[in-house]
Structure 1
Amino acid sequence: MPNYICSTCGTQYVETRQPPESCLICTDERQYVKKSGQRWTTASELRQSHHTTIKLEEPGLISIGIEPQFGIGQRAFFLRTPHGNVLWDCIPLLDGALVEMLNAMGGLAAIAISHPHYYSNVVEWSREFGNIPVYLHAADRQWVMRPDDCIHFWQGETRPLLEGLTLIRCGGHFAGGSVLHWGAGAEGRGVLLSGDIIQVVADRKSVSFMYSYPNHIPLGPAAIQQIVNAVEPFPYDRIYGAFWDMVIERNGKTAVKSSAERYLQAISH
């Protein structure tokens, strides 16, 4: 039986003979079902119509996406460290060429994901690289559509992943919404891989924060302050967002603070 993948959000489900009636991720108020209705695909069908693409972001960091765009359109990151390699966030396509390339660079030691919209087909990724652990925040446990023993639910506000890498729970977009801090990134100035928990926006000088991006549902002041407080103890200068070319190259920490102040001022009126 196939593991069906939602064509709108890219989430993979447990094996079923027929596609699920609906995608629980997309019927949540943070997502949507397209006007054309619920559509499903499978991993094998996706490999026939799409391919992965990569981009070197900086030494030790490669971004991975899908062409043509599929689902939400996020990118994943392959992060190399002397202590092992990590996949941050996930995409619903894993092809042979990509597996060969990543294995040639040392494979993967772990996977961590920012929030449920990017859980994707993470179980397939784990199995392909030797049943490696997948770290998801326990507050988002209910949104796992394909449970598996590879999934490890972490709790609390921070969790060391590998040496020099720390998961930080920010909340906001989802209760367990998290970012990844890479201390050695940006030539030692520090990097945040932020998904869309802290969303790098079009000017690439500021960020925003939303409960729902497609449906334009904002967050309240307490949620914004929680996000800012969560990342404040960590040194970082560069921020990589969820989508291609959405990068704040310098002064990322200042951008988060000033963007939060701007946001709070806007909603106060």
Structure 2
Amino acid sequence: MALWICATCVNHHEGEQPPASCKICADERQWVPITGQRWTTLEELARDGHTVEFREQEPNLVGLGVKPGLGINQRGLLVRTSGGNLLWDPPGFLDDDAVRTVRELGGLAAVSSSHPHMYGAAVEWSRAFDAPILLPEADQEWMTRTDPAVRTWSGSLSPLPGVTLVQCGGHFPGSSVLHWADGADGAGVLLTGDTIYVTPGRDRVTFLWSAPNMLPLPERLVRQVVAAVRPYEFGRIYGGWWTSVLDGDAKQVVERCAERYVQFLRGDAPEA
């Protein structure tokens, strides 16, 4: 079966022909360009000069991004532990050089994603390393490729030493974060995708049903997200993009920003 990649969200689909539409983009949390649905392939992207860029974010945490930018332009993260490595929010493109680099960094013991917009090339990475794909059961219906490597979970899961996947809900029912206890020199780190969205000033976070369509998250779901991460200690947050890093007092910032967000939802925020 051929592999088709949505040019907008860069999720992968299999079939003799591309689907009529990408179900990820047709949902109200994403968008289809006014020019219509377009599909590409790994081969076409490689011919166009796309490569995978690796950058160390901190000790034992390596970012993976595609250049030139692609789709929603997410940056994946490789968490390295004594029990193996986990690839989080894999971008939609990979090639032999990228696989070789990850192999040099210790390979993969698991692949996971914060939510369906960032499933990307999860299956291709899984097959390259014979690694399970760990996805929340609540979002299984959004997986655009069936694969026997998919393992579902609910609530929380600790697949590697110091690593815990935490289901928060909100953006999607299965929207999740990864807690890495050893990160930030032992202060703890959250990898959030856009479940908890780091704002451009890198000193605040927000909560969204849809970023591109500017739809807010209801109070009930905001409080659900915050309650899910409250048991964990974290001083730093890495969102889904290179610049989406909140460095310092991250747990307090999440609590404070959630209350501010709810004030606006209720119409209680003071006028400027």
TM-score (norm 1): 0.97
Matches within 5 A, 1:182-221: 182-221=180-219
Deviation at 1:43, TM superposition (A): 1.3
Aligned residue number for residue 31 of structure 2: 32
- Partner Cα separation in structure 2 for residue 253 and residue 85 of structure 1: 25
Q: Secondary structure at the match of 1:187?
A: helix
5 Å-filtered alignment, 1:8-19, equals 8-14=8-14, 16-19=15-18
Structure 1 residue 17: deviation in Å? 2.2
CA–CA separation in structure 2 for the residues paired with 1:151 and 1:167: 15
Partners in 1 of 2:216 and 2:105 — Cα distance?
40
Q: Is the 8 A contact 2:112 2:122 kept in 1?
A: no
Point out where structure 1 has 5 or more consecutive residues left out of the alignment.
none
For residues 111-145 of structure 1, give each alpha carbon's deviation from its aligned partner in whole angstroms, at most 9, with x where no partner exists.
1111100111211110111x210100000011011
Regions of 4+ moved over 2 Å: none
User: How far, CA to CA, are the matches of 2:44 and 2:253 in structure 1?
Assistant: 41
- Figure out how many residues of one structure are paired with residues of the other and give that number: 266
- 1:2 corresponds in structure 2 to 2
1:109 aligned partner: 109
Could you tell me the percent identity over the aligned residues? 45
Partner Cα distance (1:212, 1:80) in 2: 31
Query: C-alpha separation between the residues in 2 aligned to 1:90 and 1:188?
Result: 25
The amino acid of 2:166's aligned partner reads I
Partner of 2:157: 159
Once the two structures are superposed, the pairs formed by residues 127-138 of structure 1 within 5 Å of their partners are 127-129=127-129, 131-138=130-137
Distance 2:101 2:144 in 1: 28
2:80 aligned residue: 80
TM-score computed with the length of structure 2 as normaliser: 0.96
CA deviations over 1:84-133 (Å, ceiling 9, x no partner): 1110111111112111111112111111111100111211110111x210
Aligned partners of 1:7, 1:127: CA distance in 2, in Å?
A: 22
RMSD of equivalent CA atoms:
0.8
Work out the CA distance in 1 between the residues paired with 2:193 and 2:5: 21
The aligned runs of 1:41-190 (5 Å cut-off) are: 41-49=40-48, 50-129=50-129, 131-155=130-154, 157-190=155-188
